Amino acid sequence: MTSTDLLGSMIARRRRQLGRSQQRLADQLCALSGRATITKNEVSRYERGKRLPNAASLRLLASALGLPLADLERAAGVRGRSAPAVETVDEREEDALDRREMFRQLAAASLVVAGWPVGVARGAELPARITPEHVAELREATGLYRTWVRRHGGGGLGRHITALLERASAMHGAARDEPTRGLLLECIADLAGLGAYIARDVEAHDYAGRMYQLGLQAAKAAGDRHLGGHLIVRMAGHNIELRRPDETLGLLASARRAAVAVLTPGERANQHCIEAWANAQCGDVAAVRRAVGQAEDEFAKSDGAAAPEWGGQHVTEAELYSLTGAGYVDLARIDARHCAVAVERLERAISLRGEAHARNRTLDLLSLAEALVIARESAAAARAADQALGQLDRITSGRLRRRLTEVATTFGAHGGSRDDTDDLRSRLMAAAGPAHPS
C-alpha cells in the first residue's frame, strides 16, 4: 500500500468513526482554516489516495479528526515510487465541472420541491433516520456560510451551497414524517436564498435568478409566507443593484401583498430603504425623502426585536443608513447638493459596521468616496478610497470589483487633474482587475 493509500484509509476510517459525511468534514476544514474553498470533492480525493495533503492541510485534518498530527505525517511521510502523482486539473476545466455540478444539484433540488422523488447521489451518505437534529446541522452549516459572506464575500462559495442544497433535498426524500419534511423545505428555501445572494456577489445574475425562484417555490411548499416575502424583497435588492428601479418597486409591492400580515417593523423599514434607493435611481427626490422618512419611522418601532437568522443582517441600523446613503449618492450624481446627506448617512453606516461585516463596510467606504469626490472634497474621498483598498486582501467579491471600476470612473469625471486623484484612480482600476462578463 502506498503512502497516499494508507493516509486516505486513515482519514476515511476516522471520519466514519465520528459519524461525519465528507461534506461535514469539508465544512469543518473551511471553518478551521478560515477559507471557504475546501470541498467534499477535496476530502474524497484525499480518501481515495488521489491527492496528498500538504503540511498545512495535514494540521487541519489532525484538528478536525482528533488524530495525532504525527500519525498523519507518518502515514504521508514517505511516498513510494508507485504512489499516484498529485492530481492536476486545469483550473478552467475544474471551474466548468463545478458549474455543471452546481446546475445539476440545482435541478435536483427543484424536482424535490416540485414533489418528484429524486434518488440519493452516488457517494452521498445519509443517516438511517432523518431527525430534527440533522436539520439543525444543515442550519448550522448554512449559518457558517452566511457569516463568511458577510465578512469575506461570496467568491468560491457557490459549490458549497449547492452541495448543501443537494443534501437537504436527499434528506427530504428520505424523511418519514411531515414536520421534518416541512423543516427541510424551509432549509432548502433558505439555502437557495443564500445561494442567490452569493451568485449576485460574484456577478452570476442569471444563476441568482434561478436560485431565487427555487427559494420561492420551496417557501411556498413549506407554507412559510414570511420567508417567501423575505425572498421577494431580496430579489428587489438584486434588481436595485442592476439599476432596474421599476422592477424593484414592483417586487416590493408584491412582497407587501404576499406577506403583509407577518412583516416586522424592521423588515418594513428595510423595504422602504430599498424603495428610496429605487426612487433615487428614477430621480424622484420627493419620493426618496418620503420613503426614507417611512423607513426611519418603522425602524424606530422595531425596538431591537430579534429577526430570523436569514433576515437579521437586513434589519440593522447600519443597513438603514447604508441603503439610504447609497440612494442619496445616486441623487448626487444628478445634483451635487445631495452629497452632504449621502456623506452623513454613509459615515454613520460605516461607524456601525464591525469586522463581521467587512464586505459591506468596504462597499460603504466606496460609496462614501464617490459622494465625496462628487462634492469636490478630493482629499477626504482619497482617504475613504484608501481605507476600502486596504480591506481587499480579505474579500472575494465580483460586485466589489465592479464597484471599484465605477468609483474609479467617478474619480475620473469629478476628481479634476490632480496627480494624487489620478494615482488613486489608477490604483482603483488595478485593484478591480480585468473585466469579467456577468
**pLDDT at residue 284 above 90?**
yes
**pLDDT at residue 343 above 50?**
yes
pLDDT of amino acid 39:
82
pLDDT of amino acid 290:
98
The 10s digit of each residue's pLDDT in 374-422 is 999 989 999 999 999 998 877 888 899 899 999 999 988 886 656 667 7
pLDDT of amino acid 82:
37
pLDDT, the chain, mean: 85
The 10s digit of each residue's pLDDT in 167-226 is 898 888 888 899 999 999 999 999 999 999 999 998 889 999 999 999 999 999 999 999
Distance (Å, rounded) from C-alpha 190 to C-alpha 212?
10
Q: Are 212 and 196 in contact (CB under 8 A)?
A: yes
If you average pLDDT over residues 252-266, what whole number do you get? 89
The 10s digit of each residue's pLDDT in 97-155 is 556 667 777 777 887 787 766 655 555 567 778 888 999 999 999 998 999 898 889 88
In terms of pLDDT, which residue wins out, 141 or 293? Answer: 293
From residue 154, alpha-carbon distances to 127, 201, 203, 250 in Å are 30, 6, 10, 27
Instruction: Output the nine-digit C-alpha cell for 237.
Output: 435588492
**Which range is least confidently modeled, 27-41, 277-291, 338-352, 360-374?**
27-41
Q: Are 184 and 135 in contact (CB under 8 A)?
A: yes
Highest mean pLDDT among 59-63, 152-156, 362-366 belongs to 362-366
**Which amino acid makes up residue 358?**
A
The Cα diameter of the chain in Å comes to 76
